[in-house]
Amino acid sequence: MMKTAGLPLFRLILAFFFLAGAQSARITFTNNCPSTIWPGTLTSDQKPQLSTTGFELASKASRSLDVQAPWKGRFWARTRCSTDASGKFSCATADCASGQVACNGNGAIPPASLVEINIAENGGKDYYDVSLVDGFNLPVSVATQGGTGDCKTSSCPANVNAACPAELQVKGSDGSVLACKSACTAFNQPQYCCTGDFSTPDKCPPTNYSKIFEDQCPQAYSYAYDDQNSTFTCSGGPNYVITFCP
């Protein structure tokens, strides 16, 4: 009798823990840019990639994706994409070099504006930010829906390309500036990449180049150790809205 009576309770406990671990967040992508973009997703430091690792998103369109907690990764948008005669898909900015619309576990090739989100399980504290550490290609913002705590919007609404110095510019065939490299990507020197002898916050202060990004988008990470006013938090299992060209 004790075994028979205890089994349903044991199953109930298992179901509770399963449901607690199965909490998910909904990420909604909105394209406010005048042209089609191709968002990409990358799961870092854990299990499989999301069910969608890249997709087409027309101007003024939105699409949602459910992400199971805990989860950590990044999102970005590719621009000026096309498929050649051999069927290879590629983009002028933030390409993930998969040859397909899906990125399949590849990250964005800099320069790329990034949204980074660390989703906690069981309603814990999430961390999120907009990062220009890998450069800039599009304005972007990330906002929460629901949740408790600060839960503020992080945004880089400025067109950094308009302020990008010549040595950091990525230009299209028509001469227009498509993206702005970080100094690390452009010069690959330790003082800009915060590596080697410059691998600690006190040895890697802001540079004249990172200050350009900071001046345009003060809420975004402008270089590796730009932690002040750049990391945002929200608890209680919020959903997220990522808007390109907010």
pLDDT along the chain (246 residues), means of 10: 44 43 86 98 87 97 96 97 97 98 97 98 96 98 97 97 98 96 97 96 96 97 90 97 98
Q: Which residue in the block uniquely carries the two structure tokens 């504006």?
A: 113
pTM: predicted TM-score of the whole model, two decimal places: 0.89
Burial class (CB within 10 angstroms; exposed 0-12, middle 13-18, buried 19+) of 26 = middle
Residue 228: predicted pLDDT: 79
Residue 227: predicted pLDDT: 83
CATH of domain 25-160+218-244: 2.60.110.10
CA triple 100-76-49, angle to 5 deg:
60
3-state secondary structure of 117: strand
SS3 content of the chain, % helix, strand, coil (to 5): 20, 35, 45
Residue 22: predicted pLDDT: 58
Q: Which residue in the block uniquely carries the two structure tokens 């919020």?
A: 238
Give the start-to-end residue ranges of the domains of the chain. Answer: 25-160+218-244
Residue 54: which of 76, 75, 39, 33 has the closest Cα? Answer: 39
Residue 114: predicted pLDDT: 98
**Within 13 Å, how many C-alpha atoms sit on residue 174's CB side?**
5
3-state secondary structure of 225: coil
